[in-house]
A and B are shown apart, each in its own frame.
Chain A
Amino acid sequence: MSSGKSFAVLGLFDTPDALMGAIPQVGAKKLGALEAYTPYPLHGIDDALERRRSPLGGMVLVMGILGAITAFGFEYWISAIDYPIVTGGKAPSSWEAFVPIMFEVTVLFATFTAGLGMLLLLNKLPFFGHPVLSSDAIKAITRDRFALAIESEGEGFDAEAAKAALLAAGATQIEVLPEPDRGPFLTSDYILRVAGGIFAACVVAGLAMYGAVKLFPVLPPMSHMEDQPRLNAQKADPFFKDGFGMRMPVAGTVARGYLPLGVASQDEAASLVNPLPSSPQVLAAGKKIFHNRCELCHGALGNGVPTLTAAYGAKPANLQAQQFRDYPDGKIFWAITMGKNAMPSHAADLTETQRWEVVHYVRALQRAQNATDEDVKEAGTR
Chain B
Amino acid sequence: MSSDAAIRTGAIPERLLEPPLTEGVVTPGSLDDQVLAFPDRRPPKQWYIGLAITLTALVIGFGFIGYTIATGIGVWGNNSPVFWAFDIINFVFWVGIGHAGTLISAILFLFRKRWRNAIARFAEAMTIFAVMCAGIFPLIHVGRPWLAFWLFPYPNQRGVWTNFRSPLLWDVFAVSTYFSVSLMFWFLGLVPDIASMRDRTTSKVRKTIYTVLSLGWRGAASHWQHYEKAYLLLAGLATGLVLSVHSVVSFDFATSVVPGWHMTIFPPYFVAGAIFAGFSMVVIVLVVVRETMQLKNLITIRHLDVMNKVILGMSCLMGYSYIMEGFTAWYSMNEYLHHTFMNIISGTYGWAGWLTISCNIFIPQLLWFKKCRTSYFWMIFVALAVTVGMWFERFVIIVISLHQDYLPSAWRIYKPTMVDFGVLLGSFGLFFTLVLLFARVLPVIATTEVKAILPGAQPSHHGDDHE
What is A's interface to B at a CB cutoff of 8 Å? Answer: 15-17, 19-20, 35-46, 49, 51, 54, 56-57, 60, 74-75, 78-79, 82-83, 85, 87-88, 90, 97-98, 100-101, 103-105, 107-108, 110-112, 114-119, 122-123, 125-130, 132-133, 138-139, 141-144, 186, 206-207, 209-210, 212-214, 219, 221-224
A-B pairs with beta carbons under 8 A, tally: 236
Jot down 12 A-B pairs with beta carbons below 8 A, ordered by A.
A39-B451, A43-B458, A45-B224, A51-B222, A78-B153, A107-B177, A111-B184, A123-B220, A125-B223, A144-B29, A144-B451, A213-B156
Which residues 225-241 of B sit at the A interface, judged by CB distance below 8 A? 225-230, 233-234, 237-238, 240-241
Instruction: Say yes or no: A144 contacts B173, CB within 8 Å.
Output: no
CA distance A83 to B161 in the complex (A): 7
Q: How far is the CB of A62 from chain B (nearest CB, A)?
A: 13
Instruction: Say yes or no: A118 contacts B248, CB within 8 Å.
Output: no
Instruction: Say yes or no: B170 contacts A38, CB within 8 Å.
Output: no
A44-B459, A139-B199, A222-B160 known; A88+B233 contact, CB < 8 A: no
For B, the interface residue count at a CB cutoff of 8 angstroms equals 79
Instruction: Say yes or no: B466 contacts A43, CB within 8 Å.
Output: yes
Q: Is B350 an interface residue (CB 8 A)?
A: no
A23 to B, closest residue via Cβ: B221
A212 to B, closest residue via Cβ: B157
Candidates A16, A54, A111, A132; contact of B226 at CB < 8 Å:
A54
User: Which residues of chain B come closer than 8 Å to A143, judged between CB atoms?
Assistant: 28-29, 32, 196, 199-200
CA distance A117 to B27 in the complex (A): 33
Instruction: Say yes or no: A103 contacts B244, CB within 8 Å.
Output: yes
Instruction: Say yes or no: B153 contacts A115, CB within 8 Å.
Output: no
Instruction: Say yes or no: B160 contacts A223, CB within 8 Å.
Output: yes
Instruction: Say yes or no: B459 contacts A40, CB within 8 Å.
Output: no
Candidates A41, A44, A82, A209; contact of B156 at CB < 8 Å:
A209
Q: Is B314 an interface residue (CB 8 A)?
A: no
Instruction: Say yes or no: B221 contacts A35, CB within 8 Å.
Output: yes
Instruction: Say yes or no: B226 contacts A118, CB within 8 Å.
Output: yes
Q: Which of B136-144, B210-218, B278-286, B365-373 binds A?
A: B210-218
User: Apart from A42-B221, A115-B184, A142-B217, what 16 extra A-B contacts exist at CB < 8 Å?
Assistant: A20-B462, A37-B220, A51-B222, A78-B153, A78-B164, A87-B166, A103-B244, A110-B233, A111-B238, A123-B222, A123-B226, A123-B227, A127-B216, A132-B218, A141-B218, A206-B155
Candidates B181, B200, B212, B462; contact of A111 at CB < 8 Å:
B181
CA distance A261 to B220 in the complex (A): 105
User: Which residues of chain B come closer than 8 Å to A129, judged between CB atoms?
Assistant: 216
Candidates B174, B221, B238; contact of A45 at CB < 8 Å:
B221
Q: How far is the CB of B74 from chain A (nearest CB, A)?
A: 28
User: Which residues of chain B come closer than 8 Å to A206, judged between CB atoms?
Assistant: 154-155
User: Which residues of chain B come closer than 8 Å to A223, judged between CB atoms?
Assistant: 159-160
Q: Which 4 A-B pairs have the closest CB atoms?
A: A221-B159, A144-B28, A126-B215, A118-B230
Candidates A36, A75, A219; contact of B220 at CB < 8 Å:
A36
CA distance A210 to B154 in the complex (A): 9
CA distance A17 to B462 in the complex (A): 10
CA distance A348 to B180 in the complex (A): 75
Instruction: Say yes or no: A125 contacts B459, CB within 8 Å.
Output: no
Instruction: Say yes or no: A130 contacts B224, CB within 8 Å.
Output: no
Identify whether the interface residues of A are mostly helix, strand, loop, or mixed: helix
Instruction: Say yes or no: A107 contacts B181, CB within 8 Å.
Output: yes
Candidates B160, B163, B229; contact of A57 at CB < 8 Å:
B229
Instruction: Say yes or no: A74 contacts B177, CB within 8 Å.
Output: no
A110-B237, A144-B29 known; A118+B216 contact, CB < 8 A: no
A74-B153, A115-B188 known; A101+B173 contact, CB < 8 A: yes
A71 to B, closest residue via Cβ: B173
Instruction: Say yes or no: A42 contacts B458, CB within 8 Å.
Output: yes
Instruction: Say yes or no: B229 contacts A56, CB within 8 Å.
Output: yes
Q: How far is the CB of B194 from chain A (nearest CB, A)?
A: 10
Q: How far is the CB of A32 from chain B (nearest CB, A)?
A: 14
Instruction: Say yes or no: A78 contacts B161, CB within 8 Å.
Output: yes
Q: Is B41 an interface residue (CB 8 A)?
A: no
